Amino acid sequence: MLSKHPDLCKFPHGHTRKVEFILESNELDKNEMVCDFKILQEAMADFLSTLDHALCMNTNDPMYPKLKEAYGDRIIDFPDEDPTTEVMAKLIHDTLKIKLKEYAAKPDAKYPLSPDLKIIRVRLWETSSAWAEYSCD
């Protein structure tokens, strides 16, 4: 729900989104990879599943308290901002950055992770022809 939107997006609606992670490294790891996809899956699966079949809402939306009470953790809080695709791309980017740091710190990590791995950008597809991306230096 985009409470600031002047049209139909202000009402509850859904998207089947796709997330792309664009990563870069100066060297390949010992398995000749930039980053094993299993690391991304392990790092992000739980977080991304919280967004599945959930309603993302600006906490300033007048309906927020009522819907949060009714649906609990299926309402995803976006404090003081609408959950636009751009905002969500940034959230996913920032979460990936934290999760990769946590993975790298695990002494029993199954897959190697290059210390110079960089997140170039996160692209979040809203539809097959509409997407937003977030990158940070």
Sequence-ordered list of residues with C-beta below 8 angstroms from that of 32, at least 6 positions apart, any chain:
none
| Catalytic-labelled residue, pool 42, 86, 126, 133 | 126
Query: Rounded to whole angstroms, how far apart are CA atoms 115 and 27?
Result: 10
Give the domain CATH number at 127: 3.30.479.10
- Residue 28: inside a domain: yes
- Residue 8: inside a domain: no
pLDDT at 137: 65
- Residue 24: inside a domain: yes
- Residue 1: inside a domain: no
Q: By CB neighbour count within 10 A (0-12 exposed, 13-18 middle, 19+ buried), where does 25 fall?
A: middle
- Residue 61: inside a domain: yes
* 114 pLDDT tier (thresholds 50, 70, 90): confident
- Residue 77: inside a domain: yes
The per-residue pLDDT for range 63-113, each reduced to its tens digit, is 999 999 999 999 999 999 999 999 999 999 999 999 999 999 999 999 989
| Catalytic-labelled residue, pool 9, 42, 81, 86 | 9
Q: What is the mean pLDDT of the chain?
A: 93
Domain count, the chain: 1
Domain region containing 54: 16-134
- Residue 10: inside a domain: no
Q: What is the pTM of this model?
A: 0.91
Q: Is 5 a catalytic residue?
A: no
Q: Is 56 a catalytic residue?
A: no
- Residue 44: inside a domain: yes
CB 12 within 8 A of CB 58: no
SS3 state at 103: helix
